[in-house]
Chain A
Amino acid sequence: MSATLVAAGGSTPTLRRPSYAKYVGGRVLGALGSLAFVLVVNFFLFRVLPGDPARTLGRGRFRTEEQLEAFRATYGLDQPLPQQFLTFLKNTLTGDLGVSLRYRVPVSELILDRLWPTLLLVGTSTLLATIIGIYLGMVSAWNRGKTVDRVWTGSTLTLYSMPEWWLGLLLIATLAVGFGPVPGMFPTGGLHSVDADPGTFGYVLDTAWHLALPVTTLTLAYLADYALIMRSSLLDEIGEDYLVTARAKGLRDLQVRRRHAVPNALLPTTTLVAINLGFVVSGAITIETIFSIPGLGLLATEALSIPDYWVLQGVFLVASAAVILANLLANLLYGLLDPRVRT
């Protein structure tokens, strides 16, 4: 019997190394595929819309057939569709997203300009919501069933079920407008005061003051997601046998949590955070609208009402690309954190 013993232990001819590079390669290819698909949809989605862009965009200013033809020639709409698609592909790949009809500036410039307010608003809120949410979820899970847990889980569920624009309006009506003897303490909208001087420290403070309410709204709205996910995945881990092993080894309870339970419970939360990062770019349309933040969300809303096809196309592309990138990031992070998904 001892002969078989040796054989069993030694029988590992080739160690199959989990190749992270191979995993990354696969995911990047998948993301590129999705991006290509989005490009195609992005083009044809707007071409199959009913109506003639020349007539819609001309708004009755073009009286003659020659004027319509001239307009179509300007925008390349007289070309056959496959030819238009190739031009679109070439232009997009070289970073040319067309020119906005309303602003008469390149769409790429417009998007870059509107990207920062959105990144500032949604990025800050996501970051805050992630940190606070994960912390609250952890505290709730450790104290399952106790008062702390009930209070936090109850409040996060309440926030979760509130529409974010309603919460935003509520904050405007109270903290910005003021109620009873309490004066309004925050601006009702916008990103800067008119007289703010760019480049000074006062300008930074002014921006923070303007962003306080929208960021609070979004943080409260996003918070619940993270808190609830973290709580439930930590509760899943708390029942696991390997935590008993860790305690048996002589680890302190704090070490058992920090080294074993939390890293494992963070896995599902990481995915959620990374995927939500993708939506940072497309912005919070409702919140940008009610707080008049000149971000991508507001840009898209305005473009829809005109309608500014090239702007819509550009925003659509950038937003999709962000979501695809974030998904890629989530996959890569997960592969790094959890060896099981690599194989």
Chain B
Amino acid sequence: MGALLEVRDLTVSYRTNEGPVPALRGVDLTVEAGEVLGVAGESGCGKSTLASTVLRLQPKDATVGGEVLVNGSDVLTLGWGDLRALRWAEASIVFQGALHSLNPVRRIRDQIAEPILVHDPGTSDDEVERRVGELLEQVGLPRARSRAYPHQLSGGQRQRVMIAMALACRPKLVVADEPTTALDVMVQAQILDLLGGLVRDLDLGMVLISHDLSVLSEVCDRVVVMYAGRVVELGAAAEVFDDPLHPYAQALTGAFPRIGDPRARYAPAGLAGDPPDLRTLPDGCSFAPRCPKAVDACRTAEPPLVTPPGAAPGRRAACIRAGEPA
């Protein structure tokens, strides 16, 4: 039995009028059952593109290469019938922005029941009703809410509905794409708690995507940090958060002030420069133009993702200066 999700050398580029724009440039990752893999990075680094390829939902103008194995079958080459059978039943997605991802004019009951009936058309009405009630209770909403329309729910409740919907067909893998964006801090914590609990109780594999490393460090087992469509750092969540190896990961952790760390509180570090323009990536390391530690060697070849000298096994970074004494 292989991994729940195995992404191998995934490349995605979007066709535009100004030529192809790469969104993912050779991404590898795996998720096992019961494991939460965090994906961190700033806007435009390819996080959401990664989420959409897991169910082959990328836009029509995307060119995709590599392999995305969900439970062993390659989503990218599967026939349409098999792909539809796999969608939601084996892997589901909690989409970003629950307000727009729910149909505004249908009751949430019908929206949660829809995938159940699509994948198991013989399900009786009573069975569907029971299952919807169960799912709502599982995400902490009262059964009576099943008659509500999306606009009658708060942002946090809508996100819970999205999660209940994602669990409708008992998938083994759930991809949560920025599930807590646009929620206030308290609700954000509740949703993360809920997701963590579900992974434990249902032995799910989960990919949790966020731009907020502190969110990921709380829930995830392992974390990958992405920059300009590549994985630049990979490792156990706590290690990456406490001791980032890649300068970009360091900037990312430094951007969030940490409780109990007066230095970070008084000086939350920013990162100079703009996010990379994917159409005109430099030779060598794509982070080099913004990197405080860049040397000439950084600008000649893109550094491979390897375990730096002295780092814990299982940790990797795509930086030739990682592991050097600070």
Residues of chain A at the chain B interface (Cβ within 8 Å):
1-2, 4-6, 8-10, 12, 15-16, 18, 240-242, 244-252, 255, 259-260, 263-264, 267, 337-340, 343
Q: Check A9–B84 contact: CB distance below 8 A.
A: no
A263 to B100, CA, bound (A): 16
Most buried by A among B52, B86, B88, B145: B88
A251 to B114, CA, bound (A): 9
- List residues of chain A with CB within 8 A of the CB of B89: 250
Q: Check B100–A241 contact: CB distance below 8 A.
A: yes
Q: Check B100–A242 contact: CB distance below 8 A.
A: yes
Q: With A9-B139, A240-B100 as given contacts, are A249 and B88 in contact (CB-CB < 8 Å)?
A: yes
Closest to B166 in A: A248
Q: Check B93–A248 contact: CB distance below 8 A.
A: yes
- List residues of chain A with CB within 8 A of the CB of B241: none
Which of B95, B119, B190 is A4 in contact with, Cβ under 8 Å?
B190
Which of B114, B139, B149, B193 is A249 in contact with, Cβ under 8 Å?
B114
Q: Which of B61-69, B101-109, B127-135, B258-266 contacts A (4 or more CB under 8 A)?
A: B101-109
Whether a CB of chain A sits under 8 angstroms from the CB of B186 is: yes
Mark out the residues of chain B between 108 and 161 whose CB falls within 8 Å of any chain A CB in the assembled complex. 114-115, 118-119, 139-142, 144-145, 148-149, 151-152, 156-157, 160
Which of A10, A242, A340 is B101 in contact with, Cβ under 8 Å?
A242
A18 to B144, CA, bound (A): 14
A8 to B93, CA, bound (A): 23
Chain B binding site: helix, strand, loop or mixed by DSSP? helix
Q: Check B149–A248 contact: CB distance below 8 A.
A: no
Which of B105, B114, B118, B165 is A263 in contact with, Cβ under 8 Å?
B105
A1 to B103, CA, bound (A): 31
- List residues of chain B with CB within 8 A of the CB of A337: 105
Residues of chain B at the chain A interface (Cβ within 8 Å):
52, 55, 57, 84-89, 92-93, 95, 97, 100-105, 114-115, 118-119, 139-142, 144-145, 148-149, 151-152, 156-157, 160, 165, 186-187, 189-190, 193-194, 197
Q: Check A245–B193 contact: CB distance below 8 A.
A: no
- List residues of chain B with CB within 8 A of the CB of A242: 100-104
- List residues of chain A with CB within 8 A of the CB of B102: 242, 245
Please name 17 pairs of A and B residues whose Cβ atoms are closer than 8 Å in the assembled complex, sorted by A.
Answer: A1-B193, A2-B197, A8-B187, A9-B142, A9-B160, A15-B144, A18-B149, A241-B100, A244-B52, A244-B57, A245-B103, A246-B103, A248-B95, A250-B118, A251-B84, A340-B149, A343-B151
Most buried by B among A1, A8, A10, A264: A8
Q: Check B142–A339 contact: CB distance below 8 A.
A: no
- List residues of chain A with CB within 8 A of the CB of B142: 9-10, 12
Q: With A5-B140, A9-B139, A245-B95 as given contacts, are A250 and B115 in contact (CB-CB < 8 Å)?
A: yes
Which of A4, A12, A240, A250 is B85 in contact with, Cβ under 8 Å?
A250
A166 to B128, CA, bound (A): 58
A9 to B158, CA, bound (A): 11
Q: Check A247–B190 contact: CB distance below 8 A.
A: no
- List residues of chain B with CB within 8 A of the CB of A251: 84, 114, 118
Chain B nearest CB, measured from A337 CB (Å): 7
- List residues of chain A with CB within 8 A of the CB of B144: 12, 15
Most buried by B among A18, A245, A340: A245
Q: Check A16–B152 contact: CB distance below 8 A.
A: yes
Closest to A251 in B: B118
Chain B nearest CB, measured from A3 CB (Å): 10
Which of A4, A249, A252, A259 is B115 in contact with, Cβ under 8 Å?
A249
Q: Check A250–B145 contact: CB distance below 8 A.
A: no
- List residues of chain B with CB within 8 A of the CB of A259: 114
Q: Check B190–A5 contact: CB distance below 8 A.
A: yes
A232 to B104, CA, bound (A): 18
Chain A nearest CB, measured from B40 CB (Å): 22
Closest to A263 in B: B105
Q: Check A245–B101 contact: CB distance below 8 A.
A: yes
Chain A nearest CB, measured from B140 CB (Å): 3
A246 to B165, CA, bound (A): 11
Q: Check B97–A241 contact: CB distance below 8 A.
A: yes
- List residues of chain B with CB within 8 A of the CB of A343: 151-152
Most buried by B among A9, A18, A244: A9
